[in-house]
């Protein structure tokens, strides 16, 4: 099994981490559109156009599957990517909503969806969650989290002030969906901000559970081949991949 992982930039490495832990693939080809990140503030047509270009790029690799690690792309461009691709294309939004329903029985649970401006505006998570009969949903576009992670600013005072800014008018959630590739890198800090029973949904773990449900994996691969591509500064992407993934 050869998989392509697409993200607007470096954030999708958080999904690659989960894929590596699951040992599902023989080869992982990562493409980050670092020259044009962020997608989360772009309009629908632009996001679709860039995503189709990524599918064209992946055609060089004879893939069995493409995963869109990017929540913004998953929210807007999945249908168009499927039309353009020669292999199945899966996204993280549906997987994230299913992860909520696999972990929670109480349909009244208060679910907070965090994402980029575009992901939240798309209402994609709400639609998926409504289908699964979850109705008590709050959403928040927390765009500032993206540059904080990109700049690796993990100063507690800065983060707490940012969390207060975004969350002070919200009800205390039971579940937080980390609906953006970058947000799992803030998990430790978000965990200490919200009540301790809060459940966090991570796109990487959600997509692994989804893949195991939807596809048959007849064997595991302990040492997958990894290839990293970026539309700008590929060495920068490879350096961060080594740091984040410990490879």
Active site residues: 70, 180
Q: Which is nearer to ligand DGL, 40 or 173 (CB)?
A: 40
DSSP secondary structure letter of residue 25 = -
Q: Which two tokens stand for residue 32?
A: 């980050």
Q: Which tokens sit at 113?
A: 């969806």
- For residues 135 and 153, which CB has a smaller minimum distance to ligand DGL in the complex? 153
Q: Nearest distance from residue 105's CB to ligand DGL, in Å? A: 28
Shortest reach from residue 212's CB to ligand DGL, in Å: 22
**Which residue's entry shows tokens 């080809």?**
29
Q: Which is nearer to ligand DGL, 11 or 173 (CB)?
A: 11
Q: Which is nearer to ligand DGL, 157 or 159 (CB)?
A: 159
Cα(96)–Cα(172) distance, rounded to whole angstroms? 20
By CB under 6 A, name the binding residues for ligand DGL.
Answer: 7-9, 11, 37-40, 70-72, 116, 119, 146, 180-182
| Contact yes or no for 70/12 (Cβ under 8 A) | yes
CB of 71 to ligand DGL, least distance (A): 4
By C-alpha distance, which of 180, 151, 24 is closest to 166? Answer: 180
In the block, residue with structure tokens 């927390």? 142
Cβ 59 to ligand DGL shortest distance, Å = 22
Q: What is the distance between the alpha carbons of residues 166 and 170, in angstroms, rounded to a whole number?
A: 8
The CA-atom distances, in angstroms, between 23 and each of 2, 18, 80 are 12, 9, 29
φ/ψ (deg, to 5) at 56: -60, -40
């Amino acid at each position: 099994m050869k998989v392509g992982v697409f993200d607007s930039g470096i954030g999708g490495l958080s999904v690659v981490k989960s894929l590596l832990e699951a040992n599902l693939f023989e080869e992982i080809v990562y493409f980050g559109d670092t020259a044009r990140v962020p997608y989360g503030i772009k309009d629908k047509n632009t996001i679709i156009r860039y995503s189709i270009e990524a599918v064209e790029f992946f055609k060089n690799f004879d893939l069995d599957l493409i995963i869109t690690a990017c929540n913004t792309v998953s929210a807007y461009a999945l249908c168009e990517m499927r039309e353009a691709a020669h292999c199945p294309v899966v996204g993280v939004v549906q997987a994230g909503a299913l992860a909520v329903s696999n972990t929670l029985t109480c349909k009244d649970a208060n679910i907070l969806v965090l994402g980029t401006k575009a992901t939240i505006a798309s209402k994609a998570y709400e639609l998926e969650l409504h289908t699964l009969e979850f109705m008590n949903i709050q959403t928040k576009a927390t765009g500032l989290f993206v540059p904080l992670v990109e700049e690796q600013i993990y100063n507690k005072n800065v983060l707490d002030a940012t969390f207060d800014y975004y969350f002070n008018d919200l009800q205390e959630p039971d579940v937080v969906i980390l609906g953006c590739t970058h947000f799992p890198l803030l998990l430790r800090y978000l965990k200490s901000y919200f009540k301790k029973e809060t459940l966090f949904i991570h796109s990487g773990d959600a997509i692994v559970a989804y893949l195991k449900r939807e596809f048959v994996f007849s064997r595991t691969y302990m040492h997958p081949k990894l290839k990293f591509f970026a539309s700008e500064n590929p060495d920068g992407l490879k350096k961060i991949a080594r740091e984040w993934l410990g490879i």
